[in-house]
């Protein structure tokens, strides 16, 4: 599953991600990763979840982010879900996100890993395989 939660700033996208990841970990048989652009929500996720502050790495584009996701999975094939808050940080116009999600689909299929992203702003031309929420 690939899901994108998107909409205007302040509608609750981050809260949705945090609530969802904390529920999913209770029944997960694998590892879960939560990627954020700061450490501000580190104490809001359960201790079983691997929290990654992506700003600690020199990642500036969606291509580099895709490589980072590949590296996470290569390091731990037991990852069943990856959550990421703020995917628009790497593409402010959101024009390249549909292509990025198509590449992520290959990881989702091959490694049976769910990806849940949030983005501020409008999302156009998302592939049919992407579920969406909070699209206001």
- State in words which class domain 2-133 has: alpha beta
Quote the CA–CA distance of 134 and 74 in Å, as a whole number: 31
Quote the CA–CA distance of 1 and 37 in Å, as a whole number: 22
Considering only residues 126 and 79, tell me which one the structure prediction assigns the higher pLDDT. 79
Taking 80 as the threshold, does the pLDDT of residue 54 lie above it?
yes
What per-residue confidence (pLDDT) applies to 135? 44
Quote the CA–CA distance of 36 and 38 in Å, as a whole number: 5
Question: What residue spans define the domains of the chain?
Answer: 2-133
Considering only residues 59 and 119, tell me which one the structure prediction assigns the higher pLDDT. 59
Considering only residues 71 and 96, tell me which one the structure prediction assigns the higher pLDDT. 71
Residue 40 CB contacts under 8 Å (≥ 6 apart), including other chains:
none
pLDDT tens for residues 77-95? 999 999 999 998 898 777 8
Quote the CA–CA distance of 103 and 84 in Å, as a whole number: 16
């Amino acid at each position: 599953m690939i899901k994108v939660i998107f909409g205007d700033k302040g509608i609750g996208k981050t809260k949705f991600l945090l609530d969802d990841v904390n529920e999913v970990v209770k029944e997960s048989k694998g590892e879960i990763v939560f990627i954020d652009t700061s450490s501000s929500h580190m104490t809001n996720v359960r201790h079983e979840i691997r929290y990654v502050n992506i700003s600690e790495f020199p990642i500036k584009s969606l291509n580099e982010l895709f490589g980072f996701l590949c590296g996470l999975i290569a390091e731990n094939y037991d990852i069943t879900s990856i959550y990421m808050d703020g995917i628009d940080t790497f593409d402010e116009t959101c024009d390249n996100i549909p292509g990025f999600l198509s590449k992520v689909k290959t990881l989702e299929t091959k490694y049976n890993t769910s990806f849940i992203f949030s983005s501020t702003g409008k999302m156009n031309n998302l592939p049919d395989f992407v579920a969406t929420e909070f699209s206001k």
